[in-house]
Structure 1
């Protein structure tokens, strides 16, 4: 099974997502940042069905607070997981894997917030903007590593390629994959190229852009 991990710029539509999917037709799952879909869930469902892929990431409902939510869309274009930020961690079975999500700063605020956190295959960590300091970058990678080891699960995180938190003017794009034993499969800092991870072999290659 191949996972495509992208770091797009925030946009009104989902053009970057569709473009990278077209150029990488062999992938099974596409992982994208918090809020990337905005309110384009219907478009994303059509994309998933048209290209026979699973989409995992985040979107926004701008008329709600908190506005950010996690989402999983299956190969048929059906939403199989939709959870509001700061609620309990929930899981879905896709591609034979038990998958959960930790949304952006939930990593620090509440971590794994579930009584069902056992036999997990993959935790996806959609992040909004990049890190605002090297110290934050290291803190989040360390915490993700702790979760991987504690729950014996792979953890994959990715942020947008642009943007800064609280108008700090600093944005360090981040993407990473931590294996079940806490070892780093890859950790990307200031490198926003899309990557394809083979879940079984742990091989990582750059995607066609």
Structure 2
């Protein structure tokens, strides 16, 4: 199974997602940042079905508090997970993989908030904007590695290519993947090129196109 990890810029549409699906039509799963879909759920469902791809990331309902939600859309274009941020962690079986889904600062605030689920193959961690300091970057990387080791699971995180937390003016785009023993598969800082991870070999290929 091949996983495409993308770091699009914030946008009102989901054109960047569509372009990446065009360019990487062998991907089985696409992971994108928290909030990226905004309210374009119907369009995302059409893309999942059109490209026969599983979409995992986040979207927003502006009238909700908190507004951010975790989402998984299967190959048929059906939403199989739609969880509000800071609620208990959800686990969904997708084509033989048991996938956990945590959003952005849930990594620090609550981690895996569902101790009954211990046998998980993959934790997906969509992040909103980039890190606001080198210290935060290292803190989040260290915490993600701990989750991989504690739950004996692969974990993958990705943020947007732009945006700064609280208008700090600083944004360090982040993407990463750790294996089940906490081994580094990749850590990306300020490099927003799409990456494809082959789960069978844990080989990484990186697009030469920069957003």
Structure 1 residue 96 displacement after superposition: 1.0
Paired residue secondary structure (1:163):
coil
Corresponding residue of 1:191 = 191
Distance in structure 2 (CA, Å) of the matches to 1:57 and 1:101? 8
Corresponding residue of 1:155 = 155
Corresponding residue of 1:134 = 134
Distance in structure 2 (CA, Å) of the matches to 1:27 and 1:154? 18
TM-score, reference length from structure 2: 0.98
Question: Per-residue displacement from partner, 1:27-51 (whole Å, max 9, x unpaired)?
Answer: 1000000000000000000000000
Structure 1 residue 98 displacement after superposition: 0.2
Corresponding residue of 1:15 = 15
Structure 1: which 5+ residue stretches go unaligned?
Answer: none
Corresponding residue of 1:25 = 25
CA contact (8 A) 1:4 1:207 kept: no
CA contact (8 A) 2:193 2:207 kept: yes
Corresponding residue of 1:35 = 35
Paired residue secondary structure (1:180):
coil
CA contact (8 A) 1:20 1:208 kept: no
Aligned residues: 209
> Structure 1 residues 119, 35: closer, same or farther in 2, change over 3 A?
same
CA contact (8 A) 2:193 2:208 kept: no
Structure 1 residue 208 displacement after superposition: 6.7
Corresponding residue of 1:78 = 78
Corresponding residue of 1:68 = 68
Which stretches of structure 1, 4 residues or more, deviate above 6 A after TM superposition? none
TM-score, reference length from structure 1: 0.99
Structure 1 residue 200 displacement after superposition: 1.5
CA contact (8 A) 2:73 2:81 kept: yes
Structure 2: which 5+ residue stretches go unaligned?
Answer: none
Corresponding residue of 1:174 = 174
Distance in structure 2 (CA, Å) of the matches to 1:138 and 1:116? 28
Distance in structure 2 (CA, Å) of the matches to 1:149 and 1:37? 30
Question: Per-residue displacement from partner, 1:143-176 (whole Å, max 9, x unpaired)?
Answer: 0000000000000000000000001100000000
CA contact (8 A) 1:37 1:44 kept: yes
Distance in structure 1 (CA, Å) of the matches to 2:203 and 2:124? 18
Structure 1 residue 126 displacement after superposition: 0.3
Structure 1 residue 119 displacement after superposition: 1.1
CA contact (8 A) 1:24 1:207 kept: no
CA contact (8 A) 1:23 1:208 kept: no
Structure 1 residue 70 displacement after superposition: 0.2
